[in-house]
Amino acid sequence: MATSGIFAAWKVIDLIPMVWLPSTHKAFYDKYKDRLEDLGVLYEGRIGMAVPSSVPLSEVASVEDLNKPEVRARLEGKILTSEVGNGQYKLTVKAIDEYKLEGYKLVASSETGMLNELDRNLKRDKWSLVNAWSPHWMFSKWPLRYLDDPKQIFGGAEQIHAVARKGFSEQYPEVAYFFAHYSVPKADLDALMMEARQSSSDKVVAAYYAANKPRFDAMFQQGAEAVSSRQP
């Protein structure tokens, strides 16, 4: 979720279809919202700390359980994460403070590095604690579960918005209408992301579009009709 660094570049970027609200990207969105247009919600997601399902639920069910000495020892006090400074990273820093997770440290790397470490740990039957978000192919590849977050540091369900620069919908009304009415089921997204890793994004997207062409055609057609109806 490397969206945070893009917010300042609206002179050269027309649209971002991956702004997580109301929590993850709130600070960045609030800073630049006077220069933006929110075109609508594309799909729902979630962020939070997650562990493999092989970690017993009776031992680790919530973030609060991370304070158990035996749990901290099994996890080696490590929280695997990606991209220092992004919205989720900052929320995790807050969670460490709010839950008083003494003895824990964020081990940051690239998204690939984080997930490679998770994979290595699973193959060695080692416990892992990761900063996860969904939809993401990690949930199709490995059995993972989110930890309960009673203090709601990571918020509840997130909504992923399409956000454009100010004036975009006036300049490109049909495109804006499409994004305002576009939606993809979360289960489809998880599966598509995993398929793209095994094939290619272009092939997977093309196949999905072909299989759902009537639905996408309707989105564009309705947009064109809506624009035409507003013209003098």
Residues 95-117: tens digit of each pLDDT: 999 999 999 999 999 999 999 99
Residue 7 in domain: no
Residue 9 is predicted with a pLDDT of 53
pLDDT, the chain, mean: 88
Structural domain span for residue 136: 46-146
Residue 1 is predicted with a pLDDT of 52
Contact by Cβ (8 Å): 26, 47: no
Q: How far is CA 210 from CA 21, 195, 214, in A?
A: 30, 16, 9
Residue 172 in domain: no
Total-model pTM: 0.72
Residue 84 in domain: yes
**What string of DSSP letters covers 97-111?**
HHTT-TT-EEEEE-H
Residue 83 in domain: yes
Q: What is the CATH number of the domain that holds 132?
A: 3.40.190.100
Query: pLDDT category, 8, cuts 50, 70, 90?
Result: low
Residues 11-48: tens digit of each pLDDT: 678 999 989 898 878 888 899 999 999 999 998 889 99
Total domain count for the chain? 1
Q: Strand, coil or helix: what is 189?
A: helix
Residue 11 in domain: no
Residue 27 in domain: no
Residue 182 in domain: no
Q: What are phi and psi of 157, to 5 degrees?
A: -65, 135
Residue 189 in domain: no
Please provide the size of the chain in residues.
232
